[in-house]
Amino acid sequence: MPEELKLHISKRFNRDLATLVSQLLQMGGTVELQLKSALDGLLNGEVGLVQQAKELEEKVDQFDLILGEACAQMLVLRQPAASDLRMTLAINKCVSDLERMGDEAHKIARVALPLMEDGQSLTGFVEVRHIGQHVMQMLHDVLHAFSRQDISLALHVKSRDEQVDIEYRSAMRTLMTFMMEEPQTISRIMNVIWVLRSLERIGDHACNIAEQIVYMVQGRDIRHASKEEVAKLLNQLNLSEP
Amino acid sequence: MPEELKLHISKRFNRDLATLVSQLLQMGGTVELQLKSALDGLLNGEVGLVQQAKELEEKVDQFDLILGEACAQMLVLRQPAASDLRMTLAINKCVSDLERMGDEAHKIARVALPLMEDGQSLTGFVEVRHIGQHVMQMLHDVLHAFSRQDISLALHVKSRDEQVDIEYRSAMRTLMTFMMEEPQTISRIMNVIWVLRSLERIGDHACNIAEQIVYMVQGRDIRHASKEEVAKLLNQLNLSEP
């Protein structure tokens, strides 16, 4: 094959891959907006925002379908190898995680309405705001890490998930104590618990994306790596960076 | 390329694909066993079974790593097209769903121990048994559908998930009423609720696998199809079968 043609194919391939990445980041931005709308709507009692979060679900699903098809097309038409293949496969997995994050944001929006109708009893909202901010930052950072192929940032996101889990368990204990003391609040508190559970899951999905970034860049599968192995990897990266 | 060589490659390809499918079904069988152990252990108070469910987690994670790598190898070395590509991609997605089902089975095993220590108060166990059986049947059927490439069975699994959701919501109402009446049981009932939540999610993952089977066989992406569209597809299949 003449060099020129090779170059042409490679350029076209890179353009297609760049389009995929750009669409994935757009999908990520949509999920970010959906989550932010659901949380802000809930915490500030703004029905319009909650409604927006619900409506964005359809857009996220559209991205899911389009990107699923685009990844398959990429594999069959371009037959990528090595790091390009890993990137295509990683995008394919990240799409699923983003779609599930969108589902969780939609669930938050769904319970937000009955919670808002229950009026101004704000038990659990401090925890929702706190964990919500934490998880939104994780989502933001992991998308940034993806766009920059930054494994160091990706690993930081992964290590932060543990903190979210600790906060989640602590919030759960507080809410359970509250339910025991005031049983008439149980159905309301259960809705707050579902919101926290969704946030905790969104954190898990951010972690999954972080793992895919490491796979994409280094070809290393750290999905079932221990905390120590991840810390060691992060340490090596920090040492090798200027 | 001589026909003989083509045939040879095709045979080798089919053998590799058959190995992938066989490993996926083994992984599925392991998750089935893990879920059964967790549920039987919990419901019959058998600590040994619960322990087994916990230990199987590692085996499921191993399958996850091996199959993830095998799918990537398949794509890079065999560069499958059309239905073979769809099958490879579908296997890749199904592996993730099975791994997450394993996670949920592990979560059930984790809360089983404190639940068993709480003694013989069996509130919610009828619901756990009932929904558990339903979900185990879904998992069993969807693996069977995968091995036979049976989209009709896959669509039946998908349509049954709605029933699980109805049963889950009904169980949730019962348990919330119970907590309100007897607040001292809250922390115990919350553990039962986590078990039900895990079962409901396992049902969702069985659905995801069912959707992948349809994609694999028909190239049709029904992940975000409406209930009516799925019913129509099922109807067409029934009409076209003898």
**Which ipTM value was assigned to this complex?**
0.88
All residues of chain B having their beta carbon less than 8 Å from the beta carbon of residue A64 are: 223-224
User: Cα–Cα distances in Å, from A206 out to A45, A215, B146, B175, B218?
Assistant: 27, 14, 29, 32, 32
Give the integer Cα–Cα distance in Å for A156 and A154.
5
The better pLDDT of the pair B240, A85 is held by A85
CATH number, domain with residue B211: 1.20.58.220
| Residue B64 structure tokens | 């996850």
pLDDT at B210 (0 to 100):
97
User: What's the pLDDT tens digit per position in B199-234?
Assistant: 999 999 999 999 999 999 998 889 989 888 888 888
Shortest Cα distance, chain B CAs vs residue A185, angstroms: 9
Shortest Cα distance, chain A CAs vs residue B19, angstroms: 20
Q: Do A92 and B92 touch (CB under 8 A)?
A: yes
Shortest Cα distance, chain A CAs vs residue B133, angstroms: 25
Give the integer Cα–Cα distance in Å for A23 and B21.
31
- The amino acid sitting at A73 is Q
pLDDT at A2 (0 to 100):
57
- In chain B, the residue whose alpha carbon lies closest to the alpha carbon of A80 is B76
pLDDT at A16 (0 to 100):
87
Mean pLDDT of chain B: 91
**pLDDT-based confidence at B133, cuts 50/70/90?**
very high
pLDDT at B76 (0 to 100):
83
Helix/strand/coil percentages in chain A, nearest 5: 90, 0, 10
- In chain A, the residue whose alpha carbon lies closest to the alpha carbon of B65 is A221
| Residue A136 structure tokens | 């939104």
Mean pLDDT of B8-29: 86
Give the domain range for residue A90: 3-240
Dump the DSSP string for B17-81: HHHHHHHHHHHHHHHHHHHHHHHHHHHHT-HHHHHHHHHHHHHHHHHHHHHHHHHHHIIIII---
Q: Do B186 and A197 touch (CB under 8 A)?
A: no
User: What's the pLDDT tens digit per position in B75-121?
Assistant: 888 888 888 889 999 999 999 999 999 999 999 999 999 898 876 56
Mean pLDDT, 10 residues at a time, over chain A (242 residues)?
A: 61 84 97 98 95 97 95 86 88 96 97 82 88 98 96 94 94 94 92 96 97 92 89 83 56
- In chain B, the residue whose alpha carbon lies closest to the alpha carbon of A184 is B180
pLDDT at A122 (0 to 100):
75
Q: From start to end of chain B, where are the E strands?
A: none
pLDDT at A161 (0 to 100):
92
pLDDT at B80 (0 to 100):
83
To probe the interface with B, which of A58, A62, A103, A180 has the most B CB atoms within 10 Å? A180
Mean pLDDT of B190-201: 96
Q: Do B179 and A184 touch (CB under 8 A)?
A: no
Mean pLDDT of B173-180: 94
Count of domains for chain A: 1
Instruction: Please answer whether residues B112 and B50 qualify as being in contact, where contact means their C-beta atoms are separated by less than 8 angstroms.
Output: yes
Mean pLDDT of B52-68: 96
Shortest Cα distance, chain B CAs vs residue A112, angstroms: 18
Instruction: Please answer whether residues A152 and A142 qualify as being in contact, where contact means their C-beta atoms are separated by less than 8 angstroms.
Output: no
Q: Do A183 and B184 touch (CB under 8 A)?
A: no
CB pairs under 8 A between A and B: 70
Interface residue ranges in chain B relative to chain A, Cβ cutoff 8 Å: 61, 64-65, 68-69, 71-72, 75-76, 79, 81-82, 85-86, 89, 92-93, 96, 176, 179-180, 183-184, 186-187, 190, 197, 221, 223-224
pLDDT at B78 (0 to 100):
81
pLDDT at A54 (0 to 100):
97
Shortest Cα distance, chain B CAs vs residue A187, angstroms: 7
pLDDT at A137 (0 to 100):
98
pLDDT at B240 (0 to 100):
73
pTM over 0.95: no
Dump the DSSP string for A73-99: HIIIII---HHHHHHHHHHHHHHHHHH
- In chain A, the residue whose alpha carbon lies closest to the alpha carbon of B82 is A76
